[in-house]
Amino acid sequence: MNMILTSTTGGLGADAIEPFFYSLRLSGYQDSVVVFASRISDQSREVLRKYQATVVEFDYRGMPVVANLTDRLPWAWKMISGYYRHHRFSEKDFRYLVINCSRFFCYYQYLSGLQHKPKYVLQADIRDIVFQKDPFSFPFHSGLSVTTECQIIIKSRCAIKHLCETVGLLEMGRLARREIINCGTTVADFDTTMQYLELMTSHFNRAFFWALFEGIDQALHTYFVHKKLLDPIHIYNNWSGPFLTLDRVIVPSERKSAEGYLCNEDGSIVPIVHQYDRVKGLFKNGEAVPPCWKFYKRTAP
């Protein structure tokens, strides 16, 4: 048995999460998918029921998912001042961390209480992933399997900022020429998953102030991988493994099969496609569109 862990809050509607579950079940994956949910709509709950997801309720008290920096700043001040006014002398409460960070505490608590351990665990974002194949059809090895973002740290102001906040300026400088490691798609065997989650949660407790309003998870994830704090680690790049992180990547026609699936250089279908929503015109008019991409709306002329 394998397992997929993900999370959602009321800030994401049913239309934002259905592509994940629709494509996952279409891929033939029949094992457990566990969703940590907080204050979601009835429509979102119906989507989770429809695709037979296990819903674990959690009392998320962090700031809402806000993409715009101008909108995020007032929330950041509200979270910092509000949290420390009431929790200055009490034990840290992870429910107040941004969802990117608080989810790891949920995963750790849930997995710790399982009687039957899954063989492999995929920790995944929920709103921007499409599964073209069963994610565990790829021959993963024991250890941590991750993917790069095809961008080095020094070229990302966000990565620089978050690394400085979490591990300091000197460590950031040592890693500046390394690639950013994506945190939205991570696969590991059960024991490695638990070691990884222990690392994540302990570092969030050290950088708790920043985690109240910053998604610092990817900075820590990148740090763990490049410092080799887990062993073994398998790093995959785009077009050569189980993950494809699109972001602003241009998808050439030769990377598509006749049926429209996005494929690796060896012609194999990429099982897990991430950040597809950032790509406009992924499929041109007249091109074949695979069934798993049913909910992708933006086609190019």
Chain segment 36-78, per-residue pLDDT in tens: 999 899 999 999 999 999 999 999 988 877 656 566 677 777 7
Name the pLDDT band for 301 (thresholds 50, 70, 90).
very low
Residue 203, SS3 per DSSP: helix
Using CA atoms in the order 183, 188, 193, 195, what is the torsion angle rounded to 10 degrees? -100
Name the pLDDT band for 297 (thresholds 50, 70, 90).
confident
Pairing of strands 179-189, 120-124: antiparallel
Least reliable range by pLDDT among 59-68, 104-113, 215-224:
59-68
Do the domain assignments include residue 18?
A: yes
Residue 254, SS3 per DSSP: helix
Quote the pLDDT of residue 70: 65
Quote the pLDDT of residue 66: 62
Domains: count for the chain: 1
Do the domain assignments include residue 252?
A: no
Domain enclosing residue 15, as ranges: 3-141+182-195
Do the domain assignments include residue 26?
A: yes
Could you report the per-residue pLDDT of 230-267, keeping only the tens digit for each?
A: 999 999 999 999 999 998 788 988 999 999 999 999 99
Do the domain assignments include residue 164?
A: no
Could you report the per-residue pLDDT of 6-37, keeping only the tens digit for each?
A: 988 777 889 999 999 999 999 999 999 999 99
- Percent of the chain at pLDDT exceeding 70: 96
Contact 292, 126 (CB under 8 A): no
pLDDT of 88 strictly over 90: no
Do the domain assignments include residue 58?
A: yes
Contact 27, 138 (CB under 8 A): no
- Percent of the chain at pLDDT exceeding 90: 76
The whole-model pTM stands at 0.93
Do the domain assignments include residue 135?
A: yes
pLDDT of 138 strictly over 60: yes
Do the domain assignments include residue 148?
A: no
Please name which of 43, 233, 205, 253 lies closest in space to residue 143, comparing C-alpha atoms. 233
Rounded Cα distance, 64 and 120, in Å: 30
Name the pLDDT band for 298 (thresholds 50, 70, 90).
low
> What DSSP character marks residue 267?
S
Rounded Cα distance, 232 and 54, in Å: 30
- Tokens representing 196 are 């990884």
pLDDT of 135 strictly over 80: yes
pLDDT of 122 strictly over 90: yes
Do the domain assignments include residue 301?
A: no
Quote the pLDDT of residue 300: 47
